[in-house]
Each structure stands twice: as structure tokens, then as C-alpha cells.
């Protein structure tokens, strides 16, 4: 069967599953069909010309009532009033793929009466909407966005965001001036250097110097002000920093060039002043963009947290902002809504989509008393739960805070590098002074001595050295986050490299923590017996019953429910029931402890069948252990389970070192003992029982599905609970560290080679600036190789 | 000859700095905040979009006038 492209979203599907219309229109779903006709009816079908072959995701079907956007509690938090008296809101638009999507949203909203301004940013999908509250309601605006297959979430624009936006604009202005002036100077330079060869008149030379001065001055005093400020703050803290060197070198060159301009003798270097500032400013601008992008990412994640919740107090429901929720409050969550804070389920049953926390797409079934995590979506009917945290301490908010901290901390090696570049700057300044003195004494030529010393300063600018660690760390950490790993602190990249021992928890780490039938003692059950058993296990939601039911469904056909009576759950044992005057029992076997969990099915006390169940090992466990062995990392399994079970699991994945019956304090003591043996230990766990051990390890790694406490004490969080991600964390960190070392080597070698050449007077300041920039580019380019090779390996 | 060159330099510098000033004004106003959108926006320029822009300007003027009137009444 041939595939067809959906007329709206361009995604391909087999022709027979598509909705066909008029023989030439094909839709993959009702949503696409609806949006297509809506756009056509509103005369917006030029959207498809603009979109071209760009593939969209299917339109978002949002069933939520937008009237919440008109509530006073919402307005107080998210809506601002402009100077003209209009209302303004900042939103993140979900579902944007291309420029045509932006065009469509802006066009649809601009066509609405009462909309004053709509501005959607292509890069971060943030939108600013200004409207007249007297003419149109915000809920209507949101409904229009949803009608065309997109969705909008509000976010709070803090001062941090404003600072970043203004800083980006400021740097962009400064860079624009610098590039504009440098390009003009380069053109004038053509005339200048050609003139040197063709004996230019003094008048013409003077005019060229004046023109260069006109263009170089704004670069130094407007664009270069950043370096003056940086240098000043450095001096205030008794540090000779990179900014000081740049400012010092540029000012010296500028003063000397003025001297040449006025005296009419020698060569001016206004071009060098502009170039030095411009080249270094490009790097600074990229840094500002990086910080702004990180902030945008965090804003987008934050916007996915619900902004209000339904609280039940004294049997009355009230809508409150999430910040108002207190521990112990009863909260109602409707189908499709997100939980705003963590809590314990009060309803008897619920199912939640926890993908925002764990990356796991399968819904998780919850029973009364189970933990509900913030930002997870209720996929069952209306449920109520009791808040056990405030919004600020909720799991999702903690993850965002961790992400923010991770982006703001520097690896230890970077601290060392910064220290190094501070001392390095001082050494270079001294070398430059020595070069000037040496040359002046040697040939008595002030101009020559000054230019050579300036070249030394510029060529030795430790930009590459300062960039070596942060750029590689940034790439490594961002790659980790794409692989479902959250690194609390960038300093850990270095620690990963030193790890020689890893201790793994069993349940939830090596195994799924879900039981599976591995053996059925009697497969010749009658049809009636099978149906009785099937109905019996269906009546319980216990993990063992669920596993047996799953096994029966998989291995037997035409199973039917029958009318069994007197079903009783016996806590910790199983289920009792009756059928046709027979006494039924399904539950724990009275057998002795072995490596399996058992389930027996008895009729009138006669065992009909027995099932052996076992926790399943995660698919990539063996691959993970092989990887650790290849890296000479010693692996231990520590578990609170009995020896049979732990031994069996260990042997299946080829681990010789295992510890069974370990209590939390035993695990802690074990890690302590390993550390006393001078081992660098990483601990991977997920439960409260692992928390003590996690806090003691050099690196603690936790699964996102684990307990809040274990996540809090961990350095690394594996968001998708996959062992492959655990392997990736080691692989990426080690690789990033390797590139940091390479970068440091490149920058140091560069300086070792170029400084003597500059001191010997073979480099003019302009080429020094070029060469310095090239070294920075080399370091940046080398860092990008981290990602390239990871793609190839597809880890 | 030299006089002409000086004149060219002065006029050229004034024009180029004026254009630069115009650009800085646009940057401060946020017009360059989203480079990608601007570049792609060029592809969507049509008479229909120009007409939309005029309609939008008129709509904003009307809304502002209405708001001003309401504020004065209050």
C-alpha cells in the first residue's frame, strides 16, 4: 500500500488509513482536516504556499477551557498594562515548526478586532500579545490559537529575561558598530597600503589617517567600553584580566596612532584598534547569545507547569495560583490536566503520564497513597490528591532549579584555567613591558618598540585559554541533556574521569522493578480453570496478579470472565473467592524462599498451577557492564534483596561482585570502605534506601523515577531511567574532559610559539589580532568535534 | 583635487554614520531580536501582506484613539 502525504501536515501514512476528500485531499486525522477547512474558509490557505513541503506535527487537540485565562488570579500574575492602557501577555506557543506557522498565528490574531500587537519569536517560540480588554478577551485569543492547531502557555518574564534581552541588544549594537567601522577601515586600508607602494602625498596620507581615526574612535569608545569596564573591575579586585589586556593594548595603539596623525611621521594603527576590539567582541557576543538561549529554554520548561489549581476546602472548590498551595491541601485534577505540586493520591485509582519527568511515554498506574509528581498529566478521570510539597519544593520546580544551577556553575578545571589566565595576563603584561624596554634600548626607535610590545599583548591574549574549558563543557552538558541526563554541576565532568568503582542498586536500576512470569508449572489447565484464574487475577491490582494476567493474555486465547463470588483480598497473601461451591485461592506460595516470587492457584486447597515470577533485567544492562569493564571500572551490585535473587541477577549480567541483604546503612558503610581504599566511587540508585550511600559517593547518580530524596542528594539524574543514558554519562563526560585537555594544550602551544615570534618583532598588531582570533576559533572548532563523533557512534 | 576628496570623506562619513544610527535605532527597538524571522519574512512579502500591514496600522490608531477617549471619559 502506497503512502500518501497529509494535505495539512505533510506527514506520510498508508493511503487506506487516511481520510480522503474529493479524491485529491488526504488527511491523517480529523484535527488536520478541521484546521485545513478552517484556514480555507477564513481565506488563509496561502499558508500552504508559504509552508511548502515543511512537515508539521498533527494539530494539538486541546480540550481545556480557556476561560481560566480571564480569571483575576491569572491576570494578577501574567497580565501587564501598557502605557497606553492596553493589556499585554508573554506566551510560549507550542506547535511552531516554520516561518509559515509564525505567519499564520500572527495573521489570524492580527485579523481579530482588539488585537494591538502580536510578535512571535521564531527562535524561541515566545510571543508577546497586546490587546484591548474592552474589545476582546484573552480567552478568545487563546481559543483562536488553539483552533488552528497550536497551543499557548503563559510565562512570567522576570528581570533576568529583561536583562538578557537588553544585554543582547546592547552587544548587537556594539558589534554592529564595530563591524561597520572595521569594514570601512579595511576599505580605506586598501588605499593606504597601495599608497605606501606608490608614494602617496602627505596630504592624502593625513586624510586617510583622519578617516581611519573617525571610524576607529566609536569602536574603541563605544564597542570597546565592555573591555574598559571588565578591566576596571578586574583591577578593583587586583586582577589583571583578559579585558584589561585588550583595553590596554587598544588604547596604547590608539594613542600612538594619534601621535602619528598629529606629527605626520610614521604609520598609524587605527585599523588594528578596530580589528582587535571587533574580533574579541564577536566571541563575547556569542557568549551573551548562549546565556540568553539557556534562559529561553528554562522559560519554555517553566511555562509547562500549570499556573493554577483547583483546591478543595471545606467541601468547596476554589481556583488558586500554584504559589498559594500549602502542604496538606486537597487538590483536584481533571482528565488532561497537570498536577501542580507533588502529593499523595486520595482517590483509589489514577493513571498519569509522567513523560515530563522520566521521558517514559507509557502511563503509570497509581493507587491510593501513591506519589503524584508535579507537571505529570492525569490520564484517568477526575482525581483528588493531598499536597505533600509546596510549589517551590515540587519535583519539577527542583529539576528546573537544578538545570539553572548546572548552567551557572563552572567546572573545577575552569576555575583553575581562570586562575591560570589571570596569572598569565600579568606575565604577558610584564613580557610586553620588557619587550618595549628591550627594543627601545636596542635600537632607540620608540615607534618600533611600542608596536612590537603591543603585538605581544594582542597575540598573547588568553582568549583561547579562557574559552578552552567553558565551550567544551557547554557542548558536553547540552549533549548530555539531550540524552536524558541532568548534570547538577559542571564540575562533575572532571570527577567522572577519575571514577574507578561503580556501585549499582538492583531494583529499579539494573532491573525494571516490574515482575514477569518466567515459569508456569502446569500448562494443561482446563478451559474453566483458566477462566476462573483469569477472573481471579483480574480482580486484583497487585503487581503479582497483574503479571500473571499479562502472562495469561499473552499465552492463552479466548479467555473469558466468569461470575466468581465472595472475592476477598488478604493483605500480603493473595485473593480468596468462591465459584460453584468451590473455594478459590490465588496468591503467595507457602514454599521456602528462592530466587523467584511465587503465585499459586488453588481450588479446594489443591494446587492447580504455580507461577514463578521474576523482576526483568533492563535490556542494556549487559552492554553497560561490558562498557564499565572495558574502562577498567570495577562494578558492584548492592541490594536489599535475598542472596538467591541478587546472585541470579549478577550472574546473568556477568558481575562477580555483589552484596545482598544490604540495609541503607550497610550500603553507606560499603561506600565508605571503598573510599578508605582510595577508590573514586560512583553510586547509582533510585530509592530512599539508597540515599545515604548516594550522599557518600564521589558521584551519585539517580534515576528520575526514584524518590525525591534520592534525586535531591544526587549529582546526576537520569531522566529516562535508561541504562544506556548511564553509559552515556560516563562516555560524554570522559570525552568532554579529553577535549578540555586538548583545548588547553592547543592554547598553550599557540602562545608558546607565537609570543617569542611577536617579541622578536615579526608580527604587526593587525596580524596579531587575526592570529589570536584564529586560536580561539581553533579551540571552538575542536570542541564541536565532541558532538560530531557522538552522532556517528549513536550512543 | 584634495578639496573634493575632503568633501567626499565628510559627506560619505555623514551618510554612513546616519545609516548606522538608523540601524542602531532599529536594534534598540527590538527589530533585530529575531533574525531568522526577519530573513524568512522576506520570502512572504506580497501586496496582500502590505495591505495587511496598512490595515493593522489603521486598526492600532483606531484602538488608541478609542482608548484615549475612554480614558478621558473616565
CA atoms within 13 A on the CB side of A476: 32
- C-alpha cell of residue A711: 534525586
- Binary contact (A110, B56; C-beta < 8 A): yes
Minimal-distance CA residue of chain A relative to B44: A50
* Residue A710 reports pLDDT greater than 80: no
Mode of pairing for the β-strands spanning A12-14 and A3-5: antiparallel
- Binary contact (A86, B52; C-beta < 8 A): no
CA distance A125 to chain B (A): 10
From residue A152, how far is each of A92, A304, A357, A396, B37 by CA, in Å? 6, 10, 21, 20, 19
Q: Which position has the higher pLDDT, A692 or A94?
A: A94
pLDDT tens-place string over residues A736-746: 889 888 888 88
* Residue A426 reports pLDDT greater than 90: no
Mode of pairing for the β-strands spanning A87-94 and A126-131: antiparallel
Q: Please, which residues have CB within 8 angstroms of residue A124's CB and are 6 or more apart in sequence?
A: A92, A293, A296, A299, A300
Minimal-distance CA residue of chain B relative to A124: B34
Compute the distance between CA of residue A217 and CA of residue A190 in angstroms, rounded to an integer: 19
Per-residue confidence (pLDDT) for residue A406, from 0 to 100: 52
The fraction of chain A above a pLDDT of 70, given in percent, is 84
Instruction: Quickly state the pLDDT bin for B9 (edges 50, 70, 90).
Output: confident
Tell me which of A42, A98, A116 to substitute to probe the interface with B (most B C-beta atoms closer than 10 Å): A116
Compute the distance between CA of residue A668 and CA of residue A674 in angstroms, rounded to an integer: 10
* Residue A382 reports pLDDT greater than 70: yes
Compute the distance between CA of residue A635 and CA of residue A679 in angstroms, rounded to an integer: 12
- Structural domains of chain A ordered from first start: 3-51 (no CATH), 66-154 (3.30.70.100), 159-303 (no CATH), 308-391 (2.70.150.10), 409-483+739-795 (no CATH), 485-510+618-721 (3.40.50.1000), 512-616 (3.40.1110.10)
Compute the distance between CA of residue B68 and CA of residue B74 in angstroms, rounded to an integer: 10
- Binary contact (A172, B64; C-beta < 8 A): no
Compute the distance between CA of residue A179 and CA of residue A184 in angstroms, rounded to an integer: 9
Helix H or strand E segment including A588: none
Per-residue confidence (pLDDT) for residue A92, from 0 to 100: 84
Compute the distance between CA of residue A138 and CA of residue A131 in angstroms, rounded to an integer: 8
- C-alpha cell of residue A404: 539553572
Q: Please, which residues have CB within 8 angstroms of residue A760's CB and are 6 or more apart in sequence?
A: none
Q: Which of A295-299, A369-373, A598-602 has the lowest mean pLDDT?
A: A295-299
Per-residue confidence (pLDDT) for residue A569, from 0 to 100: 62
Q: Is A661 on the interface with B (CB under 8 A)?
A: no
Overall pTM > 0.95 = no
For chains A and B, what is the number of CB pairs under 8 angstroms? Answer: 82
Q: Which position has the higher pLDDT, A358 or A426?
A: A426
* Burial grade of A36 (CB within 10 A; 0-12, 13-18, 19 or more): buried
Average pLDDT over residues B8-25: 92
Per-residue confidence (pLDDT) for residue A184, from 0 to 100: 92
Chain-centre distance for alpha carbon A375: 16
**Beta pairing partners, A313:** A316
Report the candidate in A552, A666, A551, A682 with the shortest Cα–Cα distance to residue A614.
A551
Residue B28: list chain A partners with CB under 8 A. 169, 173
Average pLDDT over residues A6-24: 78
* Burial grade of A201 (CB within 10 A; 0-12, 13-18, 19 or more): exposed
Q: Is A123 on the interface with B (CB under 8 A)?
A: yes
Average pLDDT over residues A632-636: 92
Per-residue confidence (pLDDT) for residue A572, from 0 to 100: 46
* Residue A399 reports pLDDT greater than 90: no
Report whether A18 contacts A26 (CB < 8 A). yes
pLDDT tens-place string over residues A554-581: 888 888 888 888 877 654 456 888 888 8
Helix H or strand E segment including A648: helix A643-652
* Burial grade of A395 (CB within 10 A; 0-12, 13-18, 19 or more): buried
Per-residue confidence (pLDDT) for residue A681, from 0 to 100: 92
- Binary contact (A177, B5; C-beta < 8 A): no
* Residue A180 reports pLDDT greater than 90: yes
pLDDT tens-place string over residues A315-338: 888 888 788 888 999 999 887 788
Closest by Cβ to B40, choosing from A99, A203, A211: A99
Instruction: Quickly state the pLDDT bin for A360 (edges 50, 70, 90).
Output: very low
Helix axes of A202-218 and B2-28: crossing angle, nearest 10 degrees: 10
- Binary contact (A169, B33; C-beta < 8 A): yes
Closest by Cβ to A177, choosing from B20, B60, B70: B20
Residue B37: list chain A partners with CB under 8 A. 99, 102, 120-123
- Binary contact (A50, B44; C-beta < 8 A): yes
Average pLDDT over residues A360-366: 60
CA distance B45 to chain A (A): 10
Report whether A207 contacts B5 (CB < 8 A). yes
From residue A690, how far is each of A216, A505, A670, A684 by CA, in Å? 62, 8, 12, 8
Residue B71: list chain A partners with CB under 8 A. 85
Per-residue confidence (pLDDT) for residue A285, from 0 to 100: 81
- Binary contact (A169, B30; C-beta < 8 A): yes
Report the candidate in A89, A92, A70, A66 with the shortest Cα–Cα distance to residue A147.
A66
CA distance B28 to chain A (A): 6
Q: Which position has the higher pLDDT, A87 or A234?
A: A87
- Binary contact (B64, A50; C-beta < 8 A): no
Compute the distance between CA of residue A113 and CA of residue A419 in angstroms, rounded to an integer: 59
Per-residue confidence (pLDDT) for residue A259, from 0 to 100: 81
Compute the distance between CA of residue A682 and CA of residue A150 in angstroms, rounded to an integer: 44
- Binary contact (B70, A134; C-beta < 8 A): yes
CA distance B53 to chain A (A): 9
- Binary contact (B33, A177; C-beta < 8 A): no
* Residue A589 reports pLDDT greater than 80: no
Window 146-185 of A: residues touching B by CB (8 A cutoff) are: 165, 168-169, 172-173, 176-177, 180, 184
Instruction: Quickly state the pLDDT bin for A704 (edges 50, 70, 90).
Output: confident
Q: Is A82 on the interface with B (CB under 8 A)?
A: no
Residue B20: list chain A partners with CB under 8 A. 176-177, 180
Closest by Cβ to A84, choosing from B33, B37, B64: B64
From residue A220, how far is each of A158, A249, A378, A721, B13 by CA, in Å? 33, 11, 58, 52, 17
Report the candidate in A248, A294, A281 with the shortest Cα–Cα distance to residue A463.
A281
- Binary contact (B23, A107; C-beta < 8 A): no
Per-residue confidence (pLDDT) for residue A595, from 0 to 100: 66
Q: Which of A230-244, A333-347, A426-440 has the lowest mean pLDDT?
A: A230-244
Compute the distance between CA of residue A772 and CA of residue A458 in angstroms, rounded to an integer: 7
Tell me which of B18, B30, B33 to substitute to probe the interface with A (most A C-beta atoms closer than 10 Å): B33
At A2 the three-state DSSP class reads coil
Per-residue confidence (pLDDT) for residue A220, from 0 to 100: 94
Per-residue confidence (pLDDT) for residue A439, from 0 to 100: 92
Chain B residues near any Cβ of chain A (below 8 Å): 2, 5-6, 9, 13, 16, 20, 23-24, 27-28, 30, 32-37, 40-41, 43-44, 48, 52, 56, 59-60, 63-64, 66-67, 70-71
Q: Which of A67-71, A74-78, A410-414, A502-506 has the lowest mean pLDDT?
A: A410-414
Per-residue confidence (pLDDT) for residue A571, from 0 to 100: 45
- Binary contact (A103, B67; C-beta < 8 A): no
Instruction: Quickly state the pLDDT bin for A158 (edges 50, 70, 90).
Output: low
Handedness of CA A710, A711, A714, A720 (dihedral sign): positive
Helix H or strand E segment including A700: strand A699-703
Tell me which of A111, A112, A115, A132 to substitute to probe the interface with B (most B C-beta atoms closer than 10 Å): A132
Helices (H), chain B: 2-28, 35-41, 47-73
Chain-centre distance for alpha carbon A289: 16
* Residue A709 reports pLDDT greater than 80: no
Q: Is A211 on the interface with B (CB under 8 A)?
A: yes
Compute the distance between CA of residue A377 and CA of residue A379 in angstroms, rounded to an integer: 6
Closest by Cβ to A172, choosing from B6, B27, B40: B27
* Residue A303 reports pLDDT greater than 90: no
* Residue A313 reports pLDDT greater than 90: no
Q: Which position has the higher pLDDT, A513 or A179?
A: A179
- Binary contact (B33, A121; C-beta < 8 A): yes
- Binary contact (A173, B24; C-beta < 8 A): yes
Helix H or strand E segment including A321: strand A316-321
- Binary contact (B67, A132; C-beta < 8 A): yes
CA distance A97 to chain B (A): 12
- Binary contact (B37, A120; C-beta < 8 A): yes
Report whether A322 contacts A308 (CB < 8 A). yes
Q: Which position has the higher pLDDT, A413 or A354?
A: A354
Compute the distance between CA of residue A13 and CA of residue A35 in angstroms, rounded to an integer: 18
Helix H or strand E segment including A705: none
pLDDT tens-place string over residues A264-293: 776 777 887 887 788 778 767 876 776 676
- Binary contact (B67, A86; C-beta < 8 A): yes
- Binary contact (B60, A117; C-beta < 8 A): yes
Helix H or strand E segment including A219: none
- C-alpha cell of residue A317: 472548590
At A662 the three-state DSSP class reads coil
From residue A470, how far is each of A296, A474, A492, A743, A774 by CA, in Å? 19, 6, 13, 10, 17
Average pLDDT taken over every residue of chain A: 80
Domain boundaries in chain B? 1-32, 34-74
- Binary contact (A121, B37; C-beta < 8 A): yes
Amino acid at each position: 500500500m502506497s503512502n500518501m502525504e497529509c494535505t495539512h501536515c505533510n506527514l506520510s501514512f498508508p493511503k487506506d488509513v487516511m481520510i480522503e476528500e474529493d479524491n485529491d485531499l488526504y488527511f491523517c486525522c480529523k484535527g488536520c482536516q478541521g484546521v485545513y477547512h478552517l484556514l480555507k474558509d477564513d481565506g488563509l490557505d496561502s499558508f500552504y504556499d508559504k509552508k511548502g513541503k515543511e512537515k508539521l506535527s498533527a494539530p494539538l487537540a486541546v480540550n481545556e477551557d480557556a476561560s481560566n485565562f480571564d480569571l483575576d488570579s491569572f491576570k494578577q500574575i501574567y497580565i501587564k498594562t501598557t502605557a497606553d492602557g492596553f493589556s499585554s501577555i508573554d506566551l510560549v506557543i507550542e506547535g511552531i515548526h516554520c516561518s509559515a506557522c509564525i505567519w499564520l498565528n500572527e495573521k489570524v490574531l492580527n485579523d481579530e478586532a482588539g488585537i494591538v500587537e502580536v510578535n512571535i519569536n521564531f527562535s524561541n517560540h515566545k510571543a508577546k500579545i497586546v490587546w484591548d480588554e474592552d474589545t476582546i478577551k484573552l480567552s478568545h485569543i487563546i481559543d483562536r490559537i488553539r483552533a488552528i492547531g497550536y497551543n499557548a502557555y503563559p510565562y512570567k518574564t522576570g528581570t533576568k529575561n529583561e536583562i538578557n534581552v537588553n544585554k543582547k541588544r546592547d552587544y548587537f549594537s556594539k558589534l554592529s558598530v564595530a563591524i561597520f567601522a572595521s569594514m570601512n577601515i579595511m576599505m580605506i586600508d586598501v588605499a593606504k597600503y597601495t599608497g605606501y607602494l606608490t608614494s602617496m602625498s602627505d596630504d592624502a596620507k593625513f586624510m586617510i589617517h583622519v578617516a581611519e581615526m573617525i571610524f576607529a574612535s566609536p569602536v574603541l569608545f563605544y564597542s570597546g567600553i565592555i573591555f574598559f569596564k571588565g578591566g576596571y573591575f578586574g583591577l578593583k579586585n587586583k586582577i589583571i584580566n583578559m579585558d584589561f589586556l585588550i583595553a590596554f593594548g587598544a588604547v596604547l595603539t590608539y594613542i600612538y596612532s594619534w601621535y602619528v596623525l598629529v606629527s605626520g611621521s610614521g604609520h598609524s594603527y587605527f585599523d588594528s584598534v578596530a580589528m582587535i576590539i571587533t574580533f574579541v567582541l564577536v566571541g563575547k557576543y556569542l557568549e551573551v547569545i548562549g546565556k540568553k538561549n539557556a534562559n529561553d529554554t528554562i522559560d519554555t520548561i517553566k511555562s509547562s507547569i500549570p499556573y493554577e489549581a483547583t483546591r478543595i476546602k471545606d467541601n468547596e472548590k476554589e481556583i488558586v495560583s500554584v504559589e498559594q498551595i500549602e502542604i496538606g491541601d486537597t487538590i483536584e485534577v481533571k482528565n488532561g490536566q497537570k498536577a501542580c505540586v507533588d502529593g499523595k493520591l486520595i482517590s483509589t485509582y489514577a493513571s498519569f503520564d509522567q513523560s515530563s519527568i522520566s521521558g517514559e511515554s507509557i502511563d503509570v498506574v497509581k493507587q491510593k497513597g501513591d506519589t503524584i509528581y508535579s507537571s505529570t498529566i492525569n490520564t484517568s478521570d477526575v482525581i483528588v490528591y493531598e499536597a505533600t510539597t509546596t510549589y517551590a519544593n515540587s519535583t519539577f520546580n527542583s529539576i528546573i532549579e537544578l538545570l539553572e544551577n548546572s548552567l551557572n556553575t563552572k567546572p573545577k578545571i575552569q576555575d583553575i584555567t581562570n586562575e591560570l589566565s589571570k596569572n598569565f595576563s600579568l606575565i604577558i603584561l610584564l613580557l610586553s613591558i620588557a619587550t618595549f624596554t628591550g627594543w627601545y634600548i636596542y635600537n632607540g626607535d620608540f615607534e618600533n618598540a611600542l608596536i612590537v610590545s603591543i603585538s605581544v599583548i594582542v597575540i598573547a591574549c588568553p582568549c583561547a585559554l579562557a574559552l578552552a574549558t567553558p565551550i567544551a563543557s557547554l557542548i558536553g552538558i547540552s549533549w548530555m541533556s539531550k540524552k536524558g541526563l541532568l548534570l547538577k554541576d559542571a564540575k562533575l565532568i572532571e570527577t567522572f574521569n577519575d571514577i574507578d568503582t561503580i556501585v549499582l542498586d538492583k531494583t529499579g536500576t539494573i532491573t525494571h522493578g516490574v515482575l514477569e512470569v518466567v515459569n508456569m508449572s502446569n500448562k494443561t489447565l482446563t478451559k474453566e480453570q483458566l477462566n476462573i484464574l483469569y477472573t481471579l487475577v483480574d480482580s486484583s491490582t497487585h503487581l503479582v496478579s497483574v503479571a500473571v494476567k499479562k502472562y495469561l493474555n499473552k499465552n492463552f486465547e479466548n479467555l473469558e470472565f466468569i461470575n466468581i463470588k465472595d472475592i476477598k483480598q488478604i493483605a500480603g497473601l493473595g485473593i480468596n473467592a468462591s465459584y460453584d461451591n468451590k473455594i478459590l485461592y490465588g496468591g503467595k506460595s507457602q514454599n521456602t524462599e528462592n530466587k523467584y516470587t511465587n503465585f499459586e492457584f488453588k481450588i479446594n486447597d489443591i494446587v492447580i498451577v504455580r507461577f514463578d515470577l521474576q523482576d526483568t533485567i533492563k535490556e542494556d544492562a549487559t552492554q553497560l557492564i561490558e562498557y564499565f569493564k572495558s574502562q577498567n571500572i570495577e562494578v558492584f551490585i548492592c541490594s536489599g534483596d535475598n542472596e538467591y535473587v541478587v546472585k541470579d541477577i549478577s550472574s546473568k549480567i556477568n558481575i562477580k561482585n555483589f552484596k545482598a541483604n544490604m540495609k541503607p546503612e550497610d550500603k553507606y558503610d560499603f561506600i565508605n570502605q571503598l573510599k578508605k581504599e582510595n577508590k573514586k566511587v560512583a553510586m547509582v540508585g533510585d530509592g530512599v534506601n539508597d540515599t545515604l550511600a548516594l550522599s557518600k559517593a564521589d558521584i551519585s547518580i539517580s534515576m528520575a523515577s526514584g524518590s525525591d530524596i534520592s534525586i535531591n542528594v544526587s549529582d546526576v539524574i537520569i531522566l529516562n531511567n535508561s541504562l544506556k543514558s548511564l553509559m552515556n554519562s560516563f562516555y560524554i563526560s570522559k570525552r568532554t574532559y579529553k577535549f578540555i585537555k586538548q583545548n588547553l594544550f592547543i592554547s598553550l602551544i599557540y602562545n608558546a610559539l607565537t609570543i617569542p615570534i611577536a617579541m622578536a618583532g615579526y608580527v604587526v598588531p593587525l596580524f596579531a589580532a587575526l592570529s589570536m582570533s584564529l586560536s580561539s576559533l581553533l579551540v571552538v572548532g575542536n570542541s564541536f568535534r565532541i558532538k560530531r563523533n557522538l552522532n556517528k557512534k549513536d550512543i | 583635487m584634495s578639496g573634493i576628496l575632503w568633501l567626499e570623506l565628510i559627506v560619505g562619513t555623514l551618510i554612513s554614520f546616519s545609516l548606522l544610527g538608523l540601524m542602531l535605532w532599529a536594534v534598540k527597538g527590538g527589530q533585530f531580536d529575531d533574525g531568522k524571522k526577519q530573513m524568512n519574512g522576506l520570502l512572504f512579502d506580497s501586496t496582500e501582506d502590505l495591505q495587511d500591514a496598512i490595515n493593522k496600522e489603521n486598526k492600532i490608531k483606531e484602538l488608541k484613539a478609542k482608548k484615549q477617549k475612554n480614558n478621558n471619559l473616565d
